[in-house]
Amino acid sequence: MSTSSPPDPRVPQAGPRSASQAPATPIPATGTARDRGAPQAPLAGGTHGPDALRPLLGLVLESLREGAADRGGPFPPGGPEAIAAQIRQAVEPVLPDHGIGAGNALHRLVRAVAYGAADPADPLCAAHLHTPPLALAVAADLAASVLNQSLDSWDQAPAASEVERSVTRALAAEVYPHAPQPDALVTTGGTESNQLALLLARERHGAIQVICGSGSHHSVQRAAWLLGLPAPVTVPAADGALDPVALDDALTELPGPRLVVATAGATDTGRIDPLPEIAAICERHGVELHVDAAYGGPLLFSERHRPLLAGLERADSVTLDLHKLGWQPIAAGLFAVRDHARLSPLAITADYLNPDDDTEAGLPDLLGRSLRTTRRPDVLKIAVTLRSLGRDGMAALVDRTMDSAARFAQLIEADERLELWQRPTLSTVLFRPRGAGDAQTAEIRRTLLMEGRAVLGRARIDGRLWLKATLLNPYASSADLHRLIDLVIDVVIELVEGSTHR
Ligand SMILES: *Cc1c(COP(=O)(O)O)cnc(C)c1O
């Protein structure tokens, strides 16, 4: 057993390892309303909710700790079969005839899922834009779950809707400091935000032709497909960033309503398209511009790095994710528009949610602030994070992360066994062992993953396959970065030895 803390007397004690040891402990009853019978599954809200939650949370936290300790690294070793077998034990039968109790179910499942998790808080877990969330944001998210406000109508979220109003206004003003009426919607992430961008452009201009860089996110293609628009025209990217001359040519050749989608922080490379040039070309052609800043957007918080986003405010709309650089638990997306009026096509009335007479009587009409109906207050954790850290706190996290990536790239440059693609723009570093072929590069990544040693991504750039480190952990140390390199080199040596022994 990995735990050394004394058992919490309030917590139903479940066995640490196996199902058979774990007593089928009923969850603690709230002890009230005996005449109605103590609830077997008490509710989370109200004045009694916190008392019902406390022992369960204690158990959840302990299970998380145990799972992470059992794993002891960034990723569970053994590959899909080993993990599936382990999880089946914890989850099946999924719907037993008689419940095993909250204590058992929580402990076994949370521990098993924590053990089998890719842990973005481990600096060696650096494949994707998969952020390690801040503890304070997770704590706020718990409150969002407990309160369970739904942001589709004011009578389900009187205060949370006001939090959302303040936060979206403030963040819209970060993106558009000079616009008179900027606005922003909270989304589930870049995919939904990009979809909204294409939808609203289509509502204004009809069947638009989307033009984007070849490094743009696949959600742009999917949004065009979903909306019945022609497949986007992709403009070549030089060095990973959209080539403005090629964009100018494409706009000259393609008539009709168009929307240019530029990227500020490409998923594969972290490259930022040359936004001022692109904005100027769009203005000259009278074409609207959407910037997908899902990755790079939070550079706005950093005085040091904000200049990289120059030109962003010239876009008609902007995608921004805070579950990447922003350290929020999923989901925390934003879709910002320069002019609030751009959102008007989303307005809709449903008599049970926002009847006209309620709206005329002054009740806020929330339904037009999303394509979703039931919608959780993801904004609460964002509000708590921004208030808690402030601009300088957010900037410090951004700056540390950017510094880590720069340092990692320097280490690679200084290592003659490795080849660096280019110095990073954001926190993505592409590299490969010198002389390695694509197949070997792919095998290195897979070996590290299967053995749970490190989690790296991959990207095909300039016709070659690269290992991709997407560094999002602001607390990664130099030792962690060295270790990541050592792990790659170890595998290279193992693979070479393995092949010579064959
Ligand atoms: C991550 C990402 C997206 C997709 O965002 P989700 O939050 O995963 O839906 C879109 N564009 C870019 C550039 C991204 O990095």
What SS3 string covers 71-103? HCCCCCCCHHHHHHHHHHHHHCCCCCCCCCCHH
**pLDDT surpassing 70 at residue 173:** yes
What integer is the mean pLDDT of 88-101? 97
Amino acid at 406: A
Structure tokens of 88?
């089946």
Q: Residue 484: which of 442, 425, 444 has the closest Cα?
A: 444
Q: DSSP string of 367-402?
A: GGG-S-SS---THHHHHHHHHHHHHHHHHHHHHHHH
Q: Does residue 137 line the site of ligand 1, with CB under 6 A?
A: no
**pLDDT surpassing 90 at residue 307:** yes
Which atom from ligand 1 is nearest to the alpha carbon of 264?
A: 13
What integer is the mean pLDDT of 468-492? 98
2 C-alpha to center of ligand 1: Å? 37
378 and 248 inside one domain:
yes
188 and 153 inside one domain:
yes
Q: Is residue 258 part of a domain?
A: yes
pLDDT, position 501: 65
Q: Are 16 and 3 in contact (CB under 8 A)?
A: yes
pLDDT, position 25: 45
221 C-alpha to center of ligand 1: Å? 12
192 and 318 inside one domain:
yes
pLDDT, position 38: 67
Q: Which domain holds residue 41?
A: 15-117
Choose the residue to mutate in 188, 193, 321, 322 for probing ligand 1, maximizing ligand atoms within 8 Å of C-beta: 321
Q: What is the pLDDT of residues 249-270, one digit of tens each?
A: 999 999 999 999 999 999 999 9
pLDDT, the chain, mean: 93
Which atom from ligand 1 is nearest to the alpha carbon of 324?
A: 1
**pLDDT confidence band for 29 (50 / 70 / 90):** very low
**pLDDT surpassing 60 at residue 6:** no
Q: Is residue 4 part of a domain?
A: no
pLDDT, position 497: 87
Which atom from ligand 1 is nearest to the alpha carbon of 295?
A: 15
Domain harbouring 447, CATH code: 3.90.1150.10
Total tally of structural domains belonging to the chain: 3
Paired with 187 in beta bridges are 333
**pLDDT surpassing 80 at residue 121:** yes
Q: Does residue 190 line the site of ligand 1, with CB under 6 A?
A: yes
Q: Residue 403: which of 302, 269, 333 has the closest Cα?
A: 302
Q: Does residue 447 line the site of ligand 1, with CB under 6 A?
A: no
74 and 104 inside one domain:
yes
Instruction: Pick the more confident residue, 321 or 237.
Output: 321
Q: Is residue 122 part of a domain?
A: no
What span, in angstroms and rounded, lies between the C-alpha atoms of 335 and 185?
A: 5
Q: What is the pLDDT of residues 362-397, one digit of tens each?
A: 999 999 999 999 999 999 999 999 999 999 999 999
- Residue nearest atom 3 of ligand 1, based on CA coordinates: 190
**pLDDT surpassing 60 at residue 35:** no
Structure tokens of 124?
């060696």
What pTM was estimated for this model as a whole? 0.92
